[in-house]
Copies of this chain bind each other. A is one copy, B any other.
Amino acid sequence: MTIRNAIHRIEELFPGSISTKTVNRKQHGTNETYFPEILPDAVFYAKNTKEISKIVKICHEEECPLVAWGTGTSLEGNALAKRGGISLDMMSMDKVLRINAEDMDVIVQPGVTREQLNNDLKELGLFFPVDPGANASLGGMAATRASGTTAVRYGTMRENVLGLEVVLADGRVVKTGGRSRKSAAGYDLTKLIVGSEGTLAIITELTLKLQGRPEAIAAAICAFPTVDEAVQTVIQTIQMAIPMARMELVDTETILACNEYFGEAMPPLPHLFLEFHGSDSSVREQSEIVSDIAASLGGSDFKWSSKSEKRNKLWKARHHAFYAVKAKYPGYKAIATDACVPISKLACLIDETAKDIRESGIPGPIWGHVGDGNFHATLLIREKSQKDRKIAQGIIDRMCQRCLQMEGTITGEHGIGMGKLKYMQQEHGDSWELMSEIKRAMDPNYILNPGKVIKSN
């Protein structure tokens, strides 16, 4: 019962599909943030469910760790092979299997990326709304319960995955959920697996909810004296049942970085970036109402546009904030961390975290999905500085503590991965143990992405 046995048996069964070459292992051992390189022992390039079922069975028998791999864009080391074993590359399973335009759903393989899917949907007047920024694979997005800028209107992966085909830890292939918009037929296994970060099952097919393209889209930006007024604007807007499509906060530091990067001259203040979806007139009306709310809270005049090109220009600073910030600090590594609280606590949490970052001496611009109470701090550390890394870790520790005191959650969308495991006990108490019990029932040999999400055994 060893990793070596597993690789050997898989090589015999599927010659040429598994690689132990360093170059392939390295491709599946890196990450976009601050975790060290962790190489899997081998990479298996999956082509279909049947194959996956067979290799999962072998891994189960050999107690060999197995971690699914998509675009590698997760931010907490979620797909790194922490205990070695096999990285299961899903990116060749990239077919959009069936678009049901009338029912506004689609069945895809897990390696399809969200941009690829939206390209396929364009002509049908439909779109898949979840947008975490990166052009991630839909399997990976489901596994981490991704969300992003549009979640305030359309929900996260939790709300947008209707059904799954998965391979369980013993190789059984099961379907969960289905194509109906709702169901009261038994346990919601789909929602259990979405967000389980590959620790309960391997996702091999997804049924997703689609949305009709709105007749009109308008964008607006608005500056505020402080973060607090910006957040109050968001609270009042949501309470008035304005169906906002996106509501993003960008702090002063990020605005300054964007001004430099794009040669813009936005006022050096916190900004809200807004997007409205609806009919021409409803979009105009929504924008007027929000503009009035913002004005009453000291917001600047709205910059507003409903034209596609101008909209993109307006939102440029938000969409490319990460690159603008990275450009300002060449040679730095970016640690993207996130937290989520009830929205009434958000201004306070951001203020305290920003103060903490300022005092720490490392740069850490903040932006985020303020409509959901979710924000990101992007901590910039010098590539090889252990000191910077320690300072950043301290900031994250204190941010998580603050956020839990405010009845929030340690991550709104990045997941647990390797970065947030140590706060799980505090957030969940005894229900973290319940997660372990479910894991044990579903994966008794701990082969699926071991060392993640649940208490290490």
Contact = CB atoms under 8 A, between A and B. Distances in A.
B278 A183 contact: no
Interface string A333-374: 000000011111000000000000000000000000000111
Given A155-B159, A281-B285, A429-B174, A187 B182 contact: no
Contacts of A176: 428, 431
Contacts of A22: none
Given A104-B239, A151-B182, A344-B102, A189 B441 contact: no
Contact of A342 (B179, B187, B289, B412): B179
B435 A442 contact: no
A410 B277 contact: no
A182 B151 CA distance: 9
Contact of A343 (B174, B181, B340): B181
A211 B243 CA distance: 11
Contacts of A211: 241
Contacts of A182: 145, 147, 151, 156, 158, 340, 372, 374, 409, 412-413
A178 to B, nearest CB: 6
Interface stretch (A8-16, A260-268, A320-328, A414-422): A414-422
Contacts of A391: none
A113 to B, nearest CB: 19
Tallying the copies of this chain within the complex gives 2
A180 interface: yes
A438 interface: yes
A186 B430 contact: no
Interface string A179-214: 111111111110110111000100000000001111
A133 to B, nearest CB: 14
Interface residues of A, number: 94
Contact of A282 (B125, B282, B341): B282
Interface string A255-292: 00000000000000000000001110110010001000
A38 interface: no
B183 A343 contact: no
A158 B191 contact: yes
Contacts of A137: none
A174 B431 contact: yes
Contact of A102 (B174, B235, B411): B235
A385 to B, nearest CB: 28
Is the contact region of chain A dominated by helix, strand, or loop, or is it mixed? Answer: loop
Interface in A164-184: 168, 172-176, 178-184
A125 B239 contact: yes
B240 A185 contact: no
Contacts of A185: 409-411, 415-416, 420, 424, 427-428
A123 interface: no
Nearest to A372: B181
Nearest to A200: B187
Contact of A188 (B125, B195, B429): B195
A309 interface: no
A289 B212 CA distance: 15
A181 to B, nearest CB: 4
A431 to B, nearest CB: 4
Nearest to A102: B344
Contacts of A212: 238-241
- Most B CB contacts (10 A, CB to CB) among A239, A341, A413 go to A239
Contacts of A438: 187, 192, 438, 441-442
A162 to B, nearest CB: 10
5 contacts: A104-B239, A145-B184, A174-B430, A184-B195, A185-B410
Given A126-B239, A172-B430, 5 more contacts: A104-B238, A181-B342, A185-B420, A186-B435, A191-B192
> Which 3 residue pairs across A and B have the least CB separation, nearest first?
A441-B441, A191-B191, A183-B409
